[in-house]
Chains A and B, each alone.
Chain A
Amino acid sequence: QPIPVGHLMDNSGATSDVGVPYGQGVADALAWVNATRNGVNGRRLNVLGFDYGYQAPRAVAQYQAWVNRERVVAIQGWGTADTEALVRFVTRDRIPYISASYSAALTDAAGRSGRQGVEAAPFNFFYGPSYSDALRGMLQWAKQDWERRGQQGRPRYVHMGANHPYPNSPKEAGETLARELGFEVLPAIQFALTPGDYTAQCLTLRNQGAHYAYLGNTAGSNISVLRACQTAGVQVQFLGNVWGMDENAMKAAGTAANGVVFPVRTAVVWGQDAPGMQTVRQISRQSDQAGTAYRPVHYLAGVCSAMLMVEAMETAAQNGGEVSGPRIRDGFYARQNWVPRGLEGVCVPVTYTADDHRGTMRVALYRAVVTGDTAQGSVADLMRAGTMRIEPVATIELERRRDWLGW
Chain B
Amino acid sequence: MRESVRVDAETPILEAERVSLRFGGVRALTDVSFAVRRGEIFSIIGPNGAGKTSMVNCVSGRYRPTEGRILFEGRDITRMPTRRRAALGIGRTFQNLALFGHMTVLDNIMVGRHHLLRSGFLRGMVYWLGGAQREEIAHRREVEEIIDFLEIQHVRKAVAGQLPYGLRKRVELARAVALRPKLILLDEPMAGMNLEEKEDMARYILDLNEEWGMTVLMIEHDMGVVMDISQRVMVLDFGRKIAEGPPEAVLADEHVKRAYLGEADEAVSEPEEAVA
Q: Do chains A and B touch in the complex (CB under 8 A)?
A: no
Interface residues of A (CB under 8 A from B): none
Interface residues of B (CB under 8 A from A): none
